Amino acid sequence: MLAAPLLLGALTGSAPIGGPRRACAPQMSTDSLSAFLTQRAGVSPKFVGRVLEICDDEMIDDVEQLKVARDAGLLSQIFKPVVAIGIEAALSAPPDIAEAASSVKELLASTSSQAGDAALLTVPLDLESVPYYDNSKIPLNTYKAKNPLQGSIASVKRIVGESAPGEVCHIKISSGASFKYWEGQSLGIIPPGVNPKNGKPNAVRLYSIASTRYGDDLDGQTVSLCVRRAVYWDKELGREDPAKKGVCSNYLCDATPGTPITLTGPTGKVMLMPESDPLADVIMVATGTGIAPYRGFLRRLFVEKTPAGAAFKGLAWLFLGVSTTDSLLYDDDWQAIAKRNPEHFRLTYAISREQNTATGGKMYVQERLAEHAQEIFDRLDKGAHMYFCGLKGMMPGILETLEEVATSKGISWAERLESLKAAGQWHVEVY
């Protein structure tokens, strides 16, 4: 075979394609090249592994380096004619997003042994729609209050530091295979006992789901929640008043493995991801346990080996507001994702008791949005989807901040907001 790296260097006046090989190449590069070859260049999944081996030999590890080879007139010397022609045609044509998305599931199934896949968790793809972004059959209200599902607690884990104000737990529930759900949905919990005010059984409490449809055990039989223990501090007594504590949150946080749990749902379509457009940016804003749906989003995109993750080419940008560093939720997960996917994931924290604004005020999540307002508006103009989840008290400050920024740019915020809602780019779930 022609020594393409050396020849390319001579023709372009540059170093060999890709430079020195790294011991562990970025996973997104391999996935992007695989997707390009199968989805656009017409390489059969059966043979894509062999073509990738040739690319590896020639130090080609992304589509941009294929373009360098094409511009140097080397495609026909590196690849067999049918492959070279397909690559040439694909490089000259604009991407067909719909076509790429519909074939990505096949790509995943055919490339399970490729380098880089070991970094992702294998999941049972039979829980996906076909094509994967089709939400016409999303599970809704499978179990209702009159006919709930009986599950059990699998595990309860405190996920904030010792000095955090308040307690937050990650609750994993054994729900069985019949409780199917999608990322961004919610479920209901019916705590045991009766409401002392009316003597009736306790009503359903809704919680955002914090896992992907595969569950934390990746078998489609668990569902997870992120729950803050609700307590009431009585200033006159100088202590917590147990009579006023949150019934359901305390029941969940105090539960032990095997504790029975009564479930309803799943519910909701407002917070679904825009998977039909893998180029769309996803801007996620949360306070505290509002992080829950985004854990499902980010695991689906960057942790588990899903068709949505293989297709995603946008930016997932997470804004999280908490009071102290010890209150950060799932930080280790976000840091690991950021390290592996710096081009497609960004993390911005607002830690109100430890960070200050330029004017010396406390740093809340709306101040972080204001700092990045220009880029946020630009991304929204290009089709980004923006999500908000957390206490409803977060929204007035956020809306006021965005309105101020819009006004400074000569934009009518009321009109802009309506256009975002009409386009399905604005997603709010607060409580």
Binding site, by residue number, is: 208, 228, 289, 352-353, 362, 390-391, 429
User: Catalytic annotation on 133?
Assistant: no
246-278 residues labelled b (16+ CB within 10 A) or e (exposed):
bbbbbbbbebeeebebbbbbbbbebbbbbbebb
Report the C-alpha gap between 212 and 224 in whole angstroms.
9
Looking at residue 95, its amino acid is: P
Question: Is there a contact between 232 and 295 (Cβ–Cβ < 8 Å)?
Answer: no
Kindly state the tokens that stand for 118.
Answer: 């070991």
Q: Which residues are annotated as a binding site for NADP(+)?
A: 208, 228, 289, 352-353, 362, 390-391, 429
Catalytic residue among 186, 208, 211, 224, which? 208
User: Catalytic annotation on 249?
Assistant: no
User: Catalytic annotation on 294?
Assistant: no
Q: Give which of 400, 407, 399, 394 is closest to 426, Cα–Cα.
A: 399
Catalytic residue among 55, 169, 253, 389, which? 389
Using alpha carbons, list the distances in angstroms from residue 366 to 298, 319, 418: 22, 9, 20
Q: Residues 6 or more apart from 343 whose CB is under 8 A from it? A: 28, 315
User: Catalytic annotation on 364?
Assistant: no
Q: Give which of 308, 252, 239, 240 is closest to 280, Cα–Cα.
A: 308
Question: Is there a contact between 403 and 415 (Cβ–Cβ < 8 Å)?
Answer: no
3-state SS, one letter per residue, for 188-222? EECCCCECCCCCCECCCEEEEECCCCCCCCCCCCE
Up-side HSE of residue 59: CA atoms within 13 Å toward CB? Answer: 18
Instruction: Report the SS3 class of residue 83.
Output: helix
Give the DSSP per-residue string, 16-69.
STTSSPPSS--HHHHHHHHHIIIIIS---HHHHHHHHHHHHHTT--SHHHHHHH
Catalytic residue among 132, 133, 181, 207, which? 207
Facing residues of 388 across strands? 285, 428
User: Catalytic annotation on 232?
Assistant: no
Facing residues of 387 across strands? 284, 427
What positions carry a catalytic annotation? 207-208, 389, 429, 431
